[in-house]
Structure 1
Amino acid sequence: MNHNTPAPLSPRPLRHLIQTQRRVMSGAQLKAHGVSTASAHEQCRAGGPWQQVLPGVYLLHPGPPSSEERLHATLLYAGRTQERRGPLDAVPVQPAAGDAPPTPAAVYTDALITGLAALTLHGFSSTPPLLSLDHIDVIVPRTRRLRSTEFARLVRATGLPTPVQIEGVPVAPVPRAVADAVAQLSDAGAVRRLLTEAVRGGHCEPAAVVRELTQARLLTRPHVVDAVDSLLAEGRAIAEDRLYTMVREYGLPDPVWNVDLRLPGGPHLGGLDAYWPDQAVAVELDTRATRHGVRQEGDELWNEYARKREHLERLGITVVHITPRKLRESIEQQATVVRTALMASGDRDPAAYVVVLPR
């Protein structure tokens, strides 16, 4: 007897398969359970119990797919999978009465959900429910020989971002998902809502979104440029609010806010977000992102920051640089840095006299 020959298809293994597996499977997964392609197609005949929802992907019930099934169907079509199995799952067996049926979890590679579907999974309130989306965007390597079809829309990329796992689904990070969603949107209001929620909801910093939009070459679109301008203003306002919160909640002395410094009768020294005149300590928020891209060390704006800082420190003024990300992720640590600078002021030589003006 040839033990390598699959057993003939019968109603019992099909019923067992529906009970013990996720209800959406690829043709390769079905073959691993002894179901041939011909048998799968027979189950998908008109009025049959199964349906083929994407090429090579089968739904093991006749009704419409759920939102979870659409996500997994898209990943099964676009990516590569392997099943995480325990030692007893190698060969399907009929579960004993009262036992919970095993549900092996697929491990997907070379594909991750992006765009509006990804943002909905990240918890965005401004994106539609998954079931109402006409398409589910999925990032795949540029070399994959696939095409968009039905509700699966491919987004080709030279390199895939590191996925975020949300309930077993590999999802693009928020900045990348925002850029892929914006690429499909022509409504300025919808774009602005997405960008605003990304920042206001604490999902990411404006600089990360602008970087992804720049790499996707979306900043040539006027409605995207306008939304980015609003995003940058929103991001700075949030960072300023966190700075106020840091001073108040961590017991720092009140500074003068948003000021310009000048030498008496001399040149303008630059603007500062917070300044403690008695201690000659300043805080400057580093929000170096523009709608043309993200500023990097060595560029013109960075050099301007560095020149101002060096000039002020030559005058005896300590400048503490704080990024919006540090304020969001480690506000207590930033408060400690500022407090240390204030306490150390008594050990330094007196600073030069400067004129403090409202900005």
Structure 2
Amino acid sequence: MNHNTPLSPRPLRHLSDVRLRVLSSAQLRAHGVSAAETNAQCRPGGAWQQLLPGVFLLHPGPPTGQERVHAVLLYAGRPPGRSGHGTRARPAVPVQPSDEHPAPRATEAAPRLPHQGTDPVPAPYGEVMITGLAALALYGFSSAPPLLSLDRFDVLVPRTRRLRSTGCARLVRTAALPVARQVTGVPVAPVPRALADAVGGLTDADAVRRLLTEAVRGGHCEPTAVVRELTRARLMGRPHVVNAVDALVAEGRTIAEDRLYAMVSEWGLPDPVWNVDLRLPGGPHLGGVDAYWPDQAVAVELDTRAPRPGGRRDSAAESLQWTEYARKREHLERLGITVVHLTPRKLRDAPEQQATIVRTALMAADDRDPAAYVVVLPR
């Protein structure tokens, strides 16, 4: 087989690397395939087909979900082809599987496209990433539709990108791109951003609730990050989104409480009294805490506050809520009670460290002056 010949029109459906089955016109030119040759292969009944402007599928059958994802990224990213100066030999092209050159296994590294010279290989897709429902499907969300059932794929691009949405590619412009995650070799928006972009196109309240709940229950992200992105996208004025967020915050608190119970048990802390209100004898209500050790006068409070919708008014409301947290903590500490604030994220990511913080507070009780007597009531 002559490896310096143009790409063969033989079907590539059995190639394991989807990036060899979907190529841009620039990439084809870089491998010595002219526009005329590409057009010839894409004629009716031909071996190839055009999925999007300048993006081609190198087999005649229906594209898979992954092939459509890569096509959308190639269209939006417009990776540059390699161009030479002067006359040079035709560069090598991807070799199709045969008895002599079998298809690589899925566990092997993706083959690099051959190139000439010493210039760095350009990034496959540039500064773009999949977002919305397609991103959630790639993350493995059971509540997101499978890739094959999606009519369009949302892709985040810089605001200055001069392209239009077309076919299965819907461009979502943004002034500041988040840091992409790599999922099966595909650049994907972080879960909170992907959720916000997905929710923006949904009117089904149950579908929104299922997506948000799975994000938190599945450990993909914390409620605060989701609400922050929904607020940034100005979606918190929609009643079905607000209702889903209320359920999300409740779900997040339940999960955080479970993590707190697990931390106390798994790291050998003494058992506290759970979810109690503290009062002075015959005096005012001091506030509720999530865990309390009466003998050591140590309280744990979960910080599950979430940003709320509405701009400046809610910024003031959130500030007031924090003021109440601070006021309660200051009042309790004036009475000699140590208050430890824990966040759901830290309980998830560093439970041993959080257990050490609580244990240190308990051990330091003997070195402090005795705390005032308080009445402990169930919440």
TM-score by length of 1: 0.89
Contact kept? 1:229, 1:291, Cα under 8 Å: no
Change (3 A) 1:94 1:160: closer
Q: Distance in 2 between matches of 1:17 and 1:91?
A: 19
Matched, 1:98 2:115: no
Out of 321, 339, 352, the residue aligned to residue 332 of structure 1 is 352
Contact 1:16–1:94 (8 Å) recurs in 2: no
Once the 2 structures are TM-superposed, how far is the Cα of residue 16 of structure 1 from its aligned partner?
8.2
How far off is 1:183 after superposition?
Answer: 0.6
Shift of 1:18: 7.2
Counterpart residue number, 1:344: 364
Secondary structure at the aligned position of 1:321 is classed as strand
- Residues 1:26 and 2:24 are matched in the alignment: yes
Q: 1:133 aligns with which of 150, 171, 182?
A: 150
* Cα shift at 1:93: 6.1
The aligned residue for residue 253 of structure 2 is 236
Aligned to 2:125, what secondary structure does the other structure show? strand
Query: Secondary structure at 1:253's aligned position in 2?
Result: coil
Answering whether residue 323 of structure 2 is matched by residue 323 of structure 1, we say no
CA shift for structure 1 position 300: 1.6
1:301 paired with 2:294, answer no
Give the direction of change, closer, same or farther, for the CA distance of 1:94–1:104 in structure 2 (3 Å limit): closer
- Rounded to whole Å, the distance in 2 between the matches of 1:325 and 1:297 is 23
Q: Select the residue among 27, 41, 46 that pairs with 1:48.
A: 46
Alignment partner, residue 81 of structure 1: 79
2 CA distance for matches of 1:232 and 1:171? 25
Call closer, same or farther: CA 1:39–1:163 in 2, change over 3 Å: same
Q: Which amino acid aligns with 1:35?
A: V
Q: Matched residues in 2 for 1:80 and 1:266: separation?
A: 69
Q: Identify which of 172, 175, 186 aligns with 2:192.
A: 175
Kindly report the root-mean-square deviation, in angstroms, between the aligned alpha carbons of the 2 structures. 2.5
What does 1:215-294 correspond to in 2, within 5 Å? 215-292=232-309
Contact in 2 for aligned 1:295/1:302 (Cα 8 Å): no
Secondary structure of the equivalent of 1:266? coil
Aligned-partner SS, 1:299:
helix
Residue 370 of structure 2 aligns with an amino acid whose one-letter code is P
Q: CA deviation at 1:301?
A: 1.5
1:39 to partner: Cα distance = 2.4
User: What is the CA–CA distance in structure 1 between the aligned matches of 2:324 and 2:52, rounded to whole Å?
Assistant: 54
Q: CA deviation at 1:103?
A: 3.0
State yes or no: 1:58 paired with 2:75.
no
Q: Deviations over 1:191-233 (max 9, x none)?
A: 0000000000000000000000000000111111110000000
The aligned amino acid for 1:329 is D
The DSSP-based 3-state class of the residue aligned with 2:299 is: strand
Counterpart of 2:338, as a letter, is T
Alpha carbons of 1:83 and 1:162: their partners in 2 closer, same or farther (altered >3 Å)? farther
Q: Can you give the 5+ residue segments of structure 2 that lack an aligned partner in the other structure?
A: 83-89, 104-109, 114-122
Residue identity (%): 71
Structure 1 pair 322–295 and aligned structure 2 pair: CA distance change class (3 A): farther
Contact 1:225 1:291 in 2 (8 A): no
Q: Find the aligned partners of 2:5 and 2:266 in 1 and give their Cα distance.
A: 66
* Distance verdict in 2 for CA 1:65–1:121, change over 3 Å: same
Tell which deviates more after alignment, 23-32 or 198-207.
23-32
Query: 1:297 deviation in Å?
Result: 12
* Cα distance in 1, alignment partners of residues 282 and 94 from structure 2: 90
CA distance in 2, matches of 1:358, 1:74: 56
| CA deviation profile, 1:324-349 (whole Å, cap 9, x unmatched) | 00111111111111111111101110
The correspondence for 2:8, drawn from 8, 12, 15, is 15
- Which of 135, 142, 159 is residue 142 of structure 1 equivalent to? 159
Q: Distance in 2 between matches of 1:226 and 1:332?
A: 34
Q: Aligned partner of 2:91: which letter? A: V
- Deviations for 1:228-266, whole angstroms, at most 9, x for unmatched residues? 000000000000111111112222111111111112222
**Aligned equivalent of 1:5:** none
Given the two structures, how large is their TM-score scaled by the length of structure 2? 0.85
1:109 aligns with 2:129: no
Q: Distance in 1 between matches of 2:306 and 2:183?
A: 29
